[in-house]
Amino acid sequence: MRINHSFILTLFAALLVSCEKNSEIKVYRVSKAPLEQSGPQQQEMMPTNTAAPRMPGGLAPAVQTAVTTPPNWEPQPLSQMRQASFLVKGDNGAVADVSFVSLGSAAGNVLENVNRWLGQLGQPPITEQKLAEISQRLHTSLGDMTIVDLAGLPNNADPARDGRIVAAMMTTPDATLFFKMRGNADLTEAQKGDFLKWVAAVCDAQTQTGSSQTAAAPQPQTTGDVPPIKWTTPEGWAEVPPSSMRYASFSVPAEEGGKIDISVVTFPGDGGSDADNINRWRGQMGLAPVDANAVTSGVASLQTGDTTFSTTDIAGNKTRTIAAWTRRDGRVWFFKATGPAAAVEKEKPKFVKFIESVRF
């Protein structure tokens, strides 16, 4: 009996020591990370993959009950990310999934998300120009929503459950709101009207219930607690309406085609490290990130009146970005010009004068 025990123990010990840690491929699911890795507002948004119970700008609980949904929309259990979820059933087993997700304000721009949805439908990505052609606006009490209607069936997908996405997206200063209906193409088409009404109703209810984070309309940041600043607009720069994220926008046509996009953006806080921001801009230009030393050597100071700006000049293959930023009074201000390399080179003196003219 004792002999058997000895052998069992020997075998057990041998089995134990033959285990190798961390040698297997693991598969798991995590909450979706915002597409943009390190936006200037990262300190204010929930970070990627967090298991926090509520995302910023989340749907106020009262809103769930205040909005009437079509009778054939069956409420579904909510996940960590979803603040509203419904299943719509049609004829012949057709279904569509309706969801409302709220992420941090740096959860990618419209084009990135539309291309992600196109990827889900097995379709190739589109350009900004094409997006402008296919997208529509839906006016809500929270501001204008971008609406897209995308069709396509991925390989091996069930046409009863997939084939079309109707989505509405909006970025507020605190959150990015995604409303989405995905499912059978015919059913999604039939439900599109109800879906858009529901989107508008949710936004209205959100405003009425005074949800602290999404109630603010995505107006340009020239209102509220953002202090006004002044500058002299250089000759040839056309002011364009700022988006919800921008304090001001300018556009300069380039001789070789295209245009230079000049933006003024401000955020509370320090807006992240210089390395994060520069590497994000490099990523937007298709360039590899650089280490902290390279970032430091690529940043120069520019003294204007009582303000010191940090500046950088990033040259890509065909595009170029010049940027200046400064931190004062608990806010960070970014001034950035991006466009075709030759055109940016030509506009650089004007950009420098523009920065020198800024008065806080």
Partner 1 sequence: MLHKIVDIFTSLKLTIVCLAAAMALIFAGTLAQVHLGIHEAQERYFQSMFVWWPPDSSGFQIPIFPGGHLIGAVLLVNLIAAHMKRFRWSWRKLGIHLTHAGLIIMLAGGLFTDLFAVESHMQLAGGDTRNYSEDMRQTELAVIDTSGDDLDQVTAIPESALRHNRIIDHWSLPFRISVRNFYQNSRLKMLSQAGEGARPIANQGPGAMIAVEPAAAATGTDERDVPSAAVEILPKEGGSLGTWLVSDALGAPQTFTCGGRTWMITLRPMRHYKPFSVTLQKFTHEKYPGTEIPKDFSSKVTLIDPERSVNRDVLIYMNHPLRYRGETFYQAGFQKDDSATILQVVHNPSFIAPYVACVIVAAGLLVQFGFHLVGFSRRRRAIA
Residues of this chain that interact with partner 1 (CB under 8 A) are 2-3, 5-6, 9-10, 13-14, 16-33, 37, 43-44, 46-47, 49-53, 79-82, 97, 99, 101, 115-116, 119-122, 124, 154-155, 157, 180, 182, 279, 283, 286-289, 291
- State the nearest-atom distance from the C-beta of 289 to partner 1, in Å: 4
- State the nearest-atom distance from the C-beta of 82 to partner 1, in Å: 6
Question: Residue 116 or 318: which CB sits closer to partner 1?
Answer: 116
How far, in Å, CA of 15 to CA of 79, rounded? 40
Burial 274-307 (b: 16+ CB within 10 A, else e): bbbbbbbbbeeeebeebeeeebeeebeeeebeeb
Question: Residue 80 or 296: which CB sits closer to partner 1?
Answer: 80
319 three-state secondary structure:
strand
Strands 307-315 and 319-328: antiparallel
How far, in Å, CA of 159 to CA of 186, rounded? 10
Q: How far is CA 305 from CA 74, 231, 256, 267, 309, in A?
A: 61, 13, 35, 22, 10
Paired residues of 262 in beta bridges: 250, 337
Two tokens at 273? 């490290």
Identify the DSSP state of 69: -
- State the nearest-atom distance from the C-beta of 316 to partner 1, in Å: 10
Sheet holding 299-304, edge to edge: 238-240, 248-253, 259-268, 331-340, 319-328, 307-315, 299-304
- State the nearest-atom distance from the C-beta of 125 to partner 1, in Å: 8
Question: Residue 152 or 339: which CB sits closer to partner 1?
Answer: 152
Question: Residue 4 or 92: which CB sits closer to partner 1?
Answer: 4
- State the nearest-atom distance from the C-beta of 166 to partner 1, in Å: 14
Question: Residue 7 or 256: which CB sits closer to partner 1?
Answer: 7
Question: Residue 86 or 247: which CB sits closer to partner 1?
Answer: 86
Question: Residue 53 or 257: which CB sits closer to partner 1?
Answer: 53
- State the nearest-atom distance from the C-beta of 103 to partner 1, in Å: 11
- State the nearest-atom distance from the C-beta of 312 to partner 1, in Å: 16
